[in-house]
Amino acid sequence: MKVLFLCTENSARSLMAEAMLRHHAHGQVEVYSAGTQPNSPSPIALSLLAELNVEHDFLYSKSIETVNTVDFDLVVTLCESAAHECQQLSHGKNYQHWAIADPKTENTKASFAQALNQINRHIQVLLAEVGDFNKFTITPKQFYQCLADDIRLQSLLLIILEGELCVCELMTALAQDSQPKVSRHLAQLKKQGLLVDRKHQQWVFYRLNATLPSWMKLTLTNTLIHQPDYTAESIERLKAMRERPNKGLVC
């Protein structure tokens, strides 16, 4: 699995994320970081990593152009101002945005420590997803059985299109009145490892598992591209939905 952390300067948040994921993943994940306008690494960030005995000598600020030929399984943006730009410039199958305040605004050890703690919590969630995926083996038969139901298949396709969706959004898109029914199908997809979820306020959002094998992702993406009529009505209902839940830019 290849993961890229992106921010504007690649001097603080994305560098700390690269170091922490390398530290915790023990070689299970190929980790990169880069920036759209790279600057020099923050001395405070490097000092904090040193205090935690996290290897950091390899860290340096890099331009996104140095990694634009790599196909990443997951691209994580860590600054809101560059999130859209980074997604346009990078090659990734899945995107997440971690809404972490820029510690360089205050430029204190406390602000960097807070950002590092938030990054570390996100990384633990990410590693749990990787670990859960490695604990089971979904067979081609099980995968295609998951696609044999309209609710499950359309849910997967809509989630790919939107990045993540909650139950109420899928109920609207699929014209389903029964919340338990939709939730049961989502639970099946999560159990098989196709989806992961996260809670934000009162909402539970579902997204595609970033560690899903590439051939499965390609099957779903090709269905979305080459059979647009299959999801057309659902997409229109979703677009017309009012007061959609606030995702909070937290994944």
Q: How big is the chain, counted in residues? A: 251
DSSP strand pairing (74-77 vs 2-7): parallel
- Domain(s) of CATH 1.10.10.10: residues in the chain: 140-240
Cite the residue boundaries of each domain of the chain with CATH code 3.40.50.2300.
2-135
What pLDDT does 172 receive? 97
Please write the tens of the pLDDT for every residue from 122-140.
998 888 777 655 555 678 9
Domain 140-240 indexed as CATH 1.10.10.10: yes
Residue range 2-135, CATH number? 3.40.50.2300
The single-letter DSSP state of residue 64 is G
pLDDT tens digits along 11-41: 999 999 999 999 988 787 899 999 989 999 9
Q: Computed over its alpha carbons, how large is the radius of gyration of the chain? A: 19
> Which of 96, 86, 91 has its CA nearest to residue 70?
91
- Picking from 65, 61, 13, 21, the residue whose alpha carbon sits closest to that of residue 41 is 61
Q: How far apart are CA 192 and CA 187, in angstroms?
A: 9
Burial state string for 164-203 with b = 16 or more CB within 10 A and e = fewer than 16: bbbbbbbbbbbeeeeeeebeebbebbeebbbbbebebeeb
Predicted TM-score of the model (pTM): 0.57
